[in-house]
Structure 1
Amino acid sequence: MKSCFVLIVEDEALIAMHIKAILQDEGYCVFLVNNVDDAISCIEKESIALVLIDIHLNKDKDGVSLGKYLLQLDRIPYIYITSYIDKETLDRVKETRPYGYIVKPFKDIDVITSTSIVLNNYKYKEIDILRKKEVPNDFIPYRLKEVIAYINENIEQKLEIDELASKSQWKRHHFMKMFTKYVHVSPYQYILTRKIEKAKILLVDTAIPLNQIAYELGFKSYANFSNAFKKNCNMTAENYRKRFQKK
């Protein structure tokens, strides 16, 4: 996975530039900051695929605090790069559940292999999550299960609530109420979520143009698809493809 964005959070300039050079030679686009606040700002603005974090930064907030932020964010993997291996530091680090831990001094190959493996594993974790999502549990009324199955089988089509209510043999208002009660989201949100999930798979597994994906999934326009995707995924469809598409 090359040409994706990697963020380095390191306050020792020579080490930071060394890591940057290693990753750029491997084809990654690299951002470089020296404190947690700038790191969070970069994460919010850019489609960061991986963060490499020094633990002891010369600021009020250390790298572990950034790890806690990323753990809560739950959409970007991160690796610590540090010279500290004492029990107290390791115990703090474990609480943030990092994807890797590189000890200084390191060899170039340590950075290269750790970065490649973490990005690869995280990519397949994302896709596996999408493909393993299941329709809700067995307590759902049978007629509602049939509607959900119909939605999933026809997610590329334009699905109307009146049509779905008719298939359930309930009146529109009762159908909306029952769907939300058992599925925990409205029919509109369920359909949109499934369309976005399908779009993610098409973005990763195919080279179909974005406007064609929008058309095939029944969106009113490419702009409508683009806005919905960005709102649901916190990144554009184009950046999602760059980050996760199989090479």
Structure 2
Amino acid sequence: MTNLKKRILVVEDNIVMADDLSNTLMKLGYEVLEPAITYSEAIKALEKEVLDLVILDINLGTKKTGVDVANYIKKNLNLPFIFLTSFTDIRTLELAKATVPYAYLVKPYQEIDIMVALEIALSNFQKLASNNTIDAERQIPDFTSMETVVLKKIAENLTTKQMATELFISESTVKNHRHNICQKLALPSSNNSLLTWVLNNKQHL
């Protein structure tokens, strides 16, 4: 199996179901983060963690739904997600389809359903990322020498503070370089977006 070390976030407001799904995922060999039970918890995890896939319930018991989380991912991150929900009505399906998920599973699910959906989702995403990397290689902008250094430090997972110390520059200077890099790449300014790009393209830096 190709799921070793793949990190998954479960977004599910029902704690019992979240724990059950997490246990299933760990049994299948995935690394599972603490489940997010609300939209805000999901966003905090997405901003903080480096993930390989997100599993979303649609109804999170609040005004903000799993579809809203999916839209956030689409706008800010390069990350595959699937829906796992009990909702099958036409309106919900249309809202979910608009986010272009990698799968849509209906509860109750079988372990084999989860296994197959995740394997296919991760495989398809990897193929897409590979194609995007080839395109990106052809379109990598001209970075300044210091921007290239900053990108390499990002690839080493250094924080802004650590980079400033190591490069003998101020944190604000590092932030300016990061901002300029994001501008050149047309990326949103979130840390994970730039980190994801670097991890996908570090061999070209």
Q: TM-score, normalised by structure 2?
A: 0.68
- Count the aligned residue pairs: 166
After TM superposition, what 4+ stretches of structure 1 lie above 6 angstroms from structure 2?
A: 227-232
Aligned to 1:234, the other structure's residue is in SS state helix
Q: Which residue number corresponds to residue 130 of structure 1?
A: 133
Instruction: Return the alpha-carbon distance in structure 1 between the equivalents of residues 59 and 12 of structure 2.
Output: 9
Q: Which residue number corresponds to residue 108 of structure 2?
A: 105
Question: Identity rate of aligned residues, in percent?
Answer: 27
Instruction: Return the alpha-carbon distance in structure 1 between the equivalents of residues 30 and 41 of structure 2.
Output: 20
- Summarize the Cα distance change of 1:124–1:59 in structure 2 as closer, same or farther, 3 Å threshold: same
Q: Which residue number corresponds to residue 219 of structure 1?
A: none
Q: Which residue number corresponds to residue 47 of structure 1?
A: 50
- Summarize the Cα distance change of 1:133–1:47 in structure 2 as closer, same or farther, 3 Å threshold: closer
RCO (CA 8 Å, sep 6+): is it higher in 1 or 2?
Answer: 2
Instruction: Return the alpha-carbon distance in structure 2 between the equivalents of residues 42 and 2 of structure 1.
Output: 21
Instruction: Return the alpha-carbon distance in structure 2 between the equivalents of residues 126 and 94 of structure 1.
Output: 21
Question: Where does the alignment leave 5 or more consecutive residues of structure 2 unmatched?
Answer: 157-165, 168-173, 182-190, 201-205
> How big is each residue's C-alpha offset from its partner over 1:101-122, in whole Å with a ceiling of 9 and x where there is no partner?
0101111111111112111221
Instruction: Return the alpha-carbon distance in structure 2 between the equivalents of residues 231 and 84 of structure 1.
Output: 30
> How big is each residue's C-alpha offset from its partner over 1:40-84, in whole Å with a ceiling of 9 and x where there is no partner?
101111111111000011122111111111111241111001111
Asked whether the 8 Å contact 1:19–1:111 carries over to 2, the reply is no
Asked whether the 8 Å contact 2:78–2:196 carries over to 1, the reply is no
Q: Which residue number corresponds to residue 144 of structure 2?
A: 188
Instruction: Return the alpha-carbon distance in structure 2 between the equivalents of residues 236 and 86 of structure 1.
Output: 36
Which of 54, 58, 61 is the matching residue for 1:58?
61
Which of 47, 71, 75 is the matching residue for 1:72?
75
Whether 1:92 and 2:95 are equivalent positions in the alignment is yes
- Summarize the Cα distance change of 1:19–1:192 in structure 2 as closer, same or farther, 3 Å threshold: same
Question: Where does the alignment leave 5 or more consecutive residues of structure 1 unmatched?
Answer: 137-182, 201-209, 211-222, 242-247
